[in-house]
Amino acid sequence: MIEQPAPKEDGAGGENEGESQRRGDQTIGRVTARLAKPGEEKEARDGRGHAAIGQPAGDAPIDRAMQGVYADRRDTMFGALVLADIDRFKPVNDKHGHPIGDRILQIVSSILKAAMSSNVQAARTGGEEFGIIVTGMSEKSVVELAEEIRIAVEQTPFVNANTGTDYGPITLSFGVCMASEAKGPDDLYRKADRALYASKNAGRNKVSAHSQMQDGTFTKSWKLYSGD
């Protein structure tokens, strides 16, 4: 079996830029500590009723959180959507088979689950893409959080303990957009998606923020859980 890292604890949000930065630093510190410890993946639903990250589902809490970011002025100011996509997943899946591909998705999901807290929610959007909704953090803290997750995945060994087969390296590309930069959930998804593809185009295994880019057009839906 391929080994995987450990789960998460709760955190908190903030009300102003200084507080959001402090909260962000605390969240990042907790995530760093959790990601450094190997452990077992949690059961399909955690204590707050979140669906398992590895299985896309419809009408889940993270969808409501996506809308809720725009229902509260503080969440809009210090809220963000982060999109993450496994780099070159299809060749790995095709070469080693779907069971190995599914196992890789589970391990990446467990790493994202370790980052979840009261102000960080994550979900698999479908395929090899994941969405993370963050509240109460500045853009700097959100980018740092994404970078911590990126490094954790990059440093995780994807090795079959029985055969010694190495399925790695497995990496993630990220796109970050603050809610304040978008007109609503649909626009937020589009802009985070554009930042994600900027990371892909820049060589993958990177974190890109929409604030550093000019506007463009994408057509993906903002619904983070879909059956597709």
Query: Which one is catalytic: 17, 41, 43, 128?
Result: 128
- The per-residue pLDDT for 157 is 94
Is residue 224 domain-resident?
A: no
Q: Is the pLDDT of residue 53 over 90?
A: no
Is residue 69 domain-resident?
A: yes
Q: Is the pLDDT of residue 13 over 80?
A: no
Q: Is the pLDDT of residue 150 over 90?
A: yes
Is residue 9 domain-resident?
A: no
Percentage of residues of the chain with pLDDT beyond 70: 66
Confidence label for 12 from pLDDT (cuts 50, 70 and 90)? very low
Q: Is the pLDDT of residue 11 over 80?
A: no
Is residue 89 domain-resident?
A: yes
Q: Which domain holds residue 194?
A: 17-39+50-212
pLDDT digits (tens, 9 = 90+) for 189-218: 999 999 999 999 999 999 999 999 865 444
CATH number at residue 28: 3.30.70.270
* Residue 154 known to be catalytic: no
Contact 9, 26 (CB under 8 A): no
6's CB contacts (< 8 A; 6+ apart) are: 34, 35, 37, 38, 39, 40, 110, 114
Kindly state the average pLDDT of the residues 158-175.
Answer: 94
Is residue 196 domain-resident?
A: yes
Is residue 221 domain-resident?
A: no
Kindly state the average pLDDT of the residues 31-57.
Answer: 43
Q: Is the pLDDT of residue 220 over 50?
A: no
Overall number of domains in the chain:
1
Kindly state the average pLDDT of the residues 130-158.
Answer: 96
- The per-residue pLDDT for 23 is 52
Kindly state the average pLDDT of the residues 110-128.
Answer: 90
Is residue 44 domain-resident?
A: no
Beta bridge partners of 86: 172
Beta bridge partners of 82: 132, 176
pTM exceeding 0.75: no
Q: What is the mean pLDDT of the chain?
A: 78
Strand pairing report for 129-134 and 120-126? antiparallel
Is residue 192 domain-resident?
A: yes
pLDDT digits (tens, 9 = 90+) for 83-118: 999 999 999 999 999 999 999 999 999 999 998 998
6-20, 181-195, 202-216 — which is least confidently predicted? 6-20
- The per-residue pLDDT for 217 is 44
